[in-house]
């Protein structure tokens, strides 16, 4: 099951209490206060890892609490600090405040960490409060509570190429043909309900990652269909592959479909309108009117956008398409900008 958004409450561990103790040792005639400090509470830390590809582990684990520090002991021994709670999250996870407006961290690299909740400080033992006029203090500090906050985790998949198009445009069939990904494939709209990733071998020991995004319809940027729930997963893609069905099965006009997809992307995020792209005509094995393919190719030529025609079922044109995508992927820097509308990352607390 794929989960790309979840709200969790995090709490750092409580600091251990300081100790009240007095020395009673041989050859120490007057003794004195010897209570040690409490240990510090553990922190809650998010760590990005490629071993995770969904936020599912936090669906039923909505409260993340680090270990408490141990109390201090006599002979001025400091209590043990609580262990940090390190929570793995997928690459591309963004951490927002509870309202989902202010961006706290954007975890895009393997091993990158963000301390989301600091543990409480341990209390001081009575040895700290000894003075010339107060030689036997019988009190110590309690430990401080750890920081508690509610945060929203949002996953934006890290992929090099995003496959975008109408439902039943052939996106799932294409990704299964050029990679080892095996999404559900059916002859009905919205077969793909969640994004899928596939690794494509580009030759010369090079590869790139392709994301299959659920189909768009007109008004998707306003929430129609699956809406903009999954459009966030193409925000980081270097290249967008706009898939258009050129067969007559759906009874749609391929050029009108292309214009609708371009318009929805631009309305969702204006930066996507300037993203490197390739227009791909799909289902050429079912093409019964060559004029449909010619019109789509002419539209791509007018836009100055590379064009490819493929049939994933017949495995025609796949090599040329992979080469075309690879050429653009490896010359285009990755987009890791979290978006101005989401605020700027805070420094780690």
Res 334: pLDDT:
62
Q: How many CB atoms lie within 10 A of CB 341?
A: 8
Q: Are 31 and 22 in contact (CB under 8 A)?
A: yes
- Is the pLDDT at 323 greater than 60, yes or no? yes
> pLDDT of 13-37, one tens digit each?
999 999 999 987 777 667 789 899 9
Residue ranges of E strands in the chain: 5-11, 22-23, 32-33, 44-49, 63-65, 85-90, 93-97, 103-107, 113-117, 148-155, 161-165, 196-203, 206-212, 239-245, 276-282, 307-309
Domain map (residue ranges) of the chain: 5-155, 161-335
- Given CA atoms 39, 45, 47, 52 in this order, what sign does their dihedral have? positive
Q: Give 339's pLDDT tier (boundaries 50, 70, 90).
A: very low
Write the burial class of residue 101 (CB in 10 Å: 0-12 exposed, 13-18 middle, 19+ buried). Answer: exposed
| Residue 7 CB-density burial (10 A; 0-12 exposed, 13-18 middle, 19+ buried) | middle
Confidence band (pLDDT; 50, 70, 90) for 183? low
- 175 compared with 345, residue with greater pLDDT: 175
Nearest to 160 by CA among 69, 54, 243, 233: 233
Q: Is the pTM of this model over 0.75?
A: no
Helices (H), the chain: 171-178, 254-268, 290-303, 318-329
Report pLDDT digits (tens) over 43-84: 999 999 988 878 888 988 889 999 999 999 988 899 999 999
Q: What is the pLDDT of residue 343?
A: 35
161-335: which CATH architecture?
3-Layer(aba) Sandwich (3.40)
Fold: same for 5-155 and 161-335: no
Residues 167, 170: Cα–Cα separation, whole Å: 8
Q: How many CB atoms lie within 10 A of CB 50?
A: 12
Q: pLDDT band for 182, please (50, 70, 90 cuts).
A: low
> Which strands, in side-by-side order, build the sheet including 206-212?
196-203, 206-212, 161-165, 239-245, 276-282, 307-309
- Which of 198, 202, 209, 156 is closest to 173 using CA atoms? 198
| CATH topology (fold) of 5-155 | Spo0b-associated Gtp-binding Protein; Chain: A, (2.70.210)
User: Which residues neighbour 316 within 8 Å (Cβ) at sequence distance 6 or greater?
Assistant: 284, 285, 310
What secondary structure letter does DSSP report for 120? P
Cβ distance 335 to 108 under 8 Å? no
């Amino acid at each position: 099951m794929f989960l790309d958004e979840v709200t969790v409450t995090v709490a750092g561990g409580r600091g251990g209490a300081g100790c009240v103790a007095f020395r009673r040792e041989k050859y120490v005639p007057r003794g004195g206060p010897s209570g040690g400090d409490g240990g510090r509470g553990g922190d809650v830390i998010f760590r990005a890892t490629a071993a995770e590809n969904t936020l599912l582990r936090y669906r039923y684990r909505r409260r993340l609490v680090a270990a408490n520090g141990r109390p201090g002991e006599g002979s001025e021994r400091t209590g043990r600090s609580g262990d940090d709670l390190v929570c793995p999250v997928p690459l591309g996870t963004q951490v927002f405040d509870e309202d989902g407006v202010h961006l706290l961290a954007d975890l895009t690299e393997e091993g990158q960490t963000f301390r989301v909740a600091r543990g409480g400080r341990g209390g001081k033992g009575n040895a700290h409060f000894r003075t010339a006029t107060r030689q036997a203090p019988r009190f110590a500090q309690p430990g401080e509570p750890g920081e508690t906050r509610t945060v929203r985790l949002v996953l934006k998949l890290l992929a090099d190429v995003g496959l975008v198009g109408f439902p039943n445009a052939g996106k799932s069939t294409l990704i299964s043909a050029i990679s080892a990904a095996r999404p559900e494939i059916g002859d009905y709209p919205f077969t793909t309900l969640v994004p899928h990733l596939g690794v494509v071998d580009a030759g010369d020991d090079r590869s790139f990652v392709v994301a299959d995004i659920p189909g768009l319809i007109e008004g998707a940027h306003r929430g129609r269909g699956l809406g903009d729930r999954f459009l966030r997963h193409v925000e980081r893609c270097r290249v967008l592959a706009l898939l258009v069905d050129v067969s007559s099965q759906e009874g749609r006009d391929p050029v009108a479909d292309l214009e609708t997809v371009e318009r929805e992307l631009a309305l969702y995020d204006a930066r996507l309108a300037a993203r490197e792209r390739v227009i791909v005509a799909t289902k050429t094995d079912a093409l019964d009117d060559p004029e449909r393919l010619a019109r789509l190719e002419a539209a791509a030529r007018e836009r100055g956008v590379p064009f490819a025609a493929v049939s994933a079922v017949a495995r025609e044109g796949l090599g040329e398409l992979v080469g075309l995508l690879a050429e653009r992927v490896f010359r285009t820097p990755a987009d890791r900008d979290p978006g101005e509308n989401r605020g700027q990352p805070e420094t780690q607390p």
